[in-house]
């Protein structure tokens, strides 16, 4: 077959408007020619501006907007970029294909659903629906979940989803993330097969299908692949460092003909490996595309020179990376401060007091953030802010004491201090196998019917009247209560007892992030050591839950709240002031991260992300002493990320109490 090349007509573009809005490196990327392009966009270097102006430039050149594919990680980001494109270009951006991978995948799958065994009227399952269907599949297959603690829907979902998105076997995922469930490999594989059968039978897809079936369409149906390779003359992807194996393969296939693929990201901000992000996608891009042009955006518009010097010095220790040096535009400011604190109480007091001082210097609270590696590291700080009446907003999830696993464990302690606490009874007893709402009510009525002190021996008489599975769960619950009531009312020891009394195993079956939740509870036990009695501990938790920081009345609008966030949640955001707390080896970098292949470099990238959130003031906080969940006194070493950088890049603050 003879091939005839139809040349694209390119209109001359007036670059004056582009030159006024872009620096030379940005302009070079925006106006680059055809072919593959990798844009390494350092923190605060204007990557969104580059990808937006690139789309505008292509349209101004005469590219039909409907032949441009712009993939982002939120639909909101795509809408905002395309709105800005409309303002910049003379052309019409409404026909650009823009959105998340899942959004684009759904649009394509609707058109070709019959090729993968569906109709185009399929229903998309949300996470909760998918979890429930997995539980139905367990029932369909008659799998016994009573002899051993079998993984619940959330965990099954995580195992199967990770296998799909990382393109790994279920056996590999189990070995890597859930070694205690390897004995159930055959059952989990059977559930996965049954789950797929049910979805196709009922014309259903889940979020993973929107990607995996899209990839299947492209790989198994050459006519579909050829159609979209021709339709999308230019493919652009934002936040490329966060793409997973399937997403990376889809982009490569779509660009496999014309090779007009521009990916924008920062390898130094690749911090989502735990979600399946494949770091090799960005790091090995030039191996897959040897002729790719690499554009480095190294001008930082966010941070002062002092903040950037520290961030640059840290990330320099990573070997596997594209080397770049961020250059500041902002004028000089204060050096980052390394604050050495006696313990976590002093750390919390320092953050609270310094935040109020900076507020007096006209920096609003909502322009300050406290960042941490893991959510449990904010326990003491939340308490201190509440005591001082400083309003705060948590961006890393629920307040620590409002999380389900914390409330679960506290429910047992509430029973120990008040045996007639109905809500605590019903919450705690339902955590045991076979006990649902009806059985919990039956058990509570037996408790409520007792006069005087709680008689656990009398409650045993209820067991024969329960179903066989509920009977075993109730007996397990009673054994735990007997152990708790036999203890002195020391909250830390009681939390340990609850964890040993099957709750640790419950976490493993119920939550994909069971390890971090267990760490939360171990730290809660450590926190409880400072209270002389169970009643004092529960009173503190209750007051913290009732008189929250957000209830404090200020003269200013309610949105002036100090931000508390994990570093992962803070990616892409910025504040004038950043407090980075718990800079302790084993906590940050985390012990788990240090055990994983490539973990140290990912932890260092996380430190880089944290420090580059600060525009002007950066406080690195290091407690010197702590206590672990076994109540051992610890001497805490400053994070190796601090030791790695020269001490002339920060100012040392010694904090002391009056």
Give the 3-state secondary structure of residue 396: coil
- Quick one: pLDDT at residue 548? 35
Give the model confidence (pLDDT) of 605-623 as tens digits.
Answer: 999 999 999 999 999 999 9
* 194 among known catalytic residues: no
What's the pLDDT score for residue 658? 72
284: tokens are: 């090995």
Q: Based on the residue annotation, tell me whether 421 is a catalytic residue of this protein.
A: no
Across the chain, how many H-helices and E-strands are there? 30, 19
* pLDDT attached to residue 186: 92
| Phi, psi at 94, each rounded to 5° | -70, -20
User: 109: which 2 tokens?
Assistant: 């799958």
pLDDT for the residue numbered 539: 74
Q: What string of DSSP letters covers 247-282?
A: HHHHHHHHTTTT--EEEEE-GGG---GGGT--THHH
| From 26, 48, 157, 386, the catalytic residue | 48
- Catalytic residue among 26, 47, 520, 603, which? 47
Helix, strand, coil % (nearest 5) of the chain? Answer: 55, 15, 35
Largest CA distance in the chain: 95
List, for residues 76-91, the tens digit of each pLDDT value: 888 888 888 888 886 6
135 part of the active site: no
Q: Give dist(CA 121, CA 82) in Å, integer.
A: 28
Q: Return the pLDDT at 631.
A: 65
CA distance 192 to 91: 47
Which residue's structure tokens are 């294909």? 97
Of residues 194, 296, 414, 613, which has the active-site annotation? 613
Given the residues 238, 249, 309, 603, the one annotated as active site: 238
The DSSP element (H or E) to which 622 belongs, if any, is: strand 614-623
> Is 132 annotated in the active site?
no
The parts of the chain modelled with pLDDT lower than 70 are: 6, 8-9, 90-91, 146-148, 396-398, 542-559, 628-631
Say whether 298 is catalytic. no
637 tagged catalytic:
no
Find how far residue 472's CA is from the centre of its chain: 37
Active site residue: 26, 63, 241, 269, which one?
269
What's phi and psi for 326, nearest 5 deg?
-70, 135
Predicted TM-score of the model (pTM) = 0.82
**One of 154, 158, 209, 239 is an active-site residue; which one?**
239
How are beta strands 633-635 and 299-300 bridged, if at all?
unpaired
A 10 A CB-CB count for 559 gives 10
């Amino acid at each position: 077959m003879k091939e005839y090349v139809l040349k694209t007509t390119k209109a001359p573009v007036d670059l004056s408007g582009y030159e006024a809005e872009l620096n030379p490196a940005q302009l070079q990327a925006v106006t680059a020619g055809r072919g593959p392009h990798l844009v390494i966009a350092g923190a605060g270097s204007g990557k969104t501006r580059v990808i937006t102006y690139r789309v505008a430039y292509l349209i101004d050149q005469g590219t039909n907007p409907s032949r441009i594919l712009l993939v982002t990680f939120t639909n909101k980001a795509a809408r905002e970029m395309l709105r800005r494109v409309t303002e910049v270009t003379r052309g019409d951006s409404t026909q650009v294909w823009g959105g998340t991978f899942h959004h684009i995948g759904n649009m394509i799958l609707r058109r070709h659903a019959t090729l993968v065994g569906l109709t185009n009227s399929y229903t998309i399952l949300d996470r909760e629906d998918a979890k429930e269907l997995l539980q139905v599949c367990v029932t369909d297959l008659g799998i016994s979940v009573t002899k051993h603690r079998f993984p619940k829907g959330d965990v099954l979902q995580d195992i199967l989803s990770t296998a799909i998105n990382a393109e790994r076997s279920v056996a590999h995922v189990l070995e890597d993330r859930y070694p205690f469930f390897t004995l159930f490999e055959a059952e989990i594989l059977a559930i996965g097969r049954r789950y797929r059968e049910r979805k196709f039978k009922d014309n259903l897809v889940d979020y993973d299908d929107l990607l995996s079936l899209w990839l299947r369409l492209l790989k198994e149906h050459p006519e579909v692949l050829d159609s979209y390779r021709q339709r999308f003359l230019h493919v652009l992807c934002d936040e490329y460092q966060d793409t997973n194996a399937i997403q990376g393969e889809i982009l490569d296939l779509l660009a496999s003909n014309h090779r007009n693929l521009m990916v924008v990201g920062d390898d130094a901000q690749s911090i989502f490996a735990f979600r399946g992000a494949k770091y090799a996608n960005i790091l090995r891009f030039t191996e897959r595309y040897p002729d790719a042009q690499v554009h480095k955006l190294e001008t930082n518009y966010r941070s002062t020179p002092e903040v950037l010097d520290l961030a640059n010095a840290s990330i320099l220790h990573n070997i596997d990376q594209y080397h770049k040096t961020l250059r500041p535009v902002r004028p000089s400011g204060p050096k980052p401060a390394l604050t050495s604190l006696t313990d976590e109480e002093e750390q919390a007091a320092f953050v609270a007091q310094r935040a109020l001082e900076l507020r007096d210097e006209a920096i609003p609270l909502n322009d300050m953030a406290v960042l941490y590696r893991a959510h449990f590291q904010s326990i003491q700080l939340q308490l201190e802010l509440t005591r001082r009446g400083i309003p705060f907003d948590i961006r890393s999830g629920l307040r620590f004491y409002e999380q389900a696993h914390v409330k679960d464990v506290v429910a047992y302690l509430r029973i120990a201090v008040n045996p007639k606490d109905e809500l605590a009874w019903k919450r705690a007893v339902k955590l045991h196998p076979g006990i649902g709402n009806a059985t919990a009510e039956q058990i509570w009525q037996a408790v409520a019917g007792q006069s005087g002190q709680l008689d656990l021996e009398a409650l045993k008489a209820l067991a024969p009247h329960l179903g066989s599975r509920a009977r075993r769960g109730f007996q397990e619950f009673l054994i735990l209560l007997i152990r708790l009531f036999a203890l002195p009312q020391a909250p830390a020891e009681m939390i340990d007892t609850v964890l040993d009394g099957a709750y640790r195993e419950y976490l493993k079956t119920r939550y994909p992030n069971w390890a971090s939740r267990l760490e939360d509870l171990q730290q809660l036990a450590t926190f409880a050591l400072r209270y002389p009695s169970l009643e004092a501990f529960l009173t503190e938790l209750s007051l913290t839950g009732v008189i929250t920081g957000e209830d404090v009345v200020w003269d200013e609008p309610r949105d002036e709240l100090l931000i508390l966030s994990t570093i992962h949640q803070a990616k892409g955001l910025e504040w004038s002031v950043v407090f980075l707390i718990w800079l302790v080896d084993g906590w940050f970098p985390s012990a788990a991260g240090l055990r994983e292949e490539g973990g140290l470099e990912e932890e260092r990238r996380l430190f880089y992300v944290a420090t580059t959130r600060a525009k002007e003031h950066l406080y690195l906080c290091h407690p010197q002493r702590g206590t672990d969940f076994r109540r051992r006194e610890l001497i805490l070493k400053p994070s190796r990320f601090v030791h790695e950088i020269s001490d002339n890049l920060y100012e040392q603050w010694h904090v002391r109490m009056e």
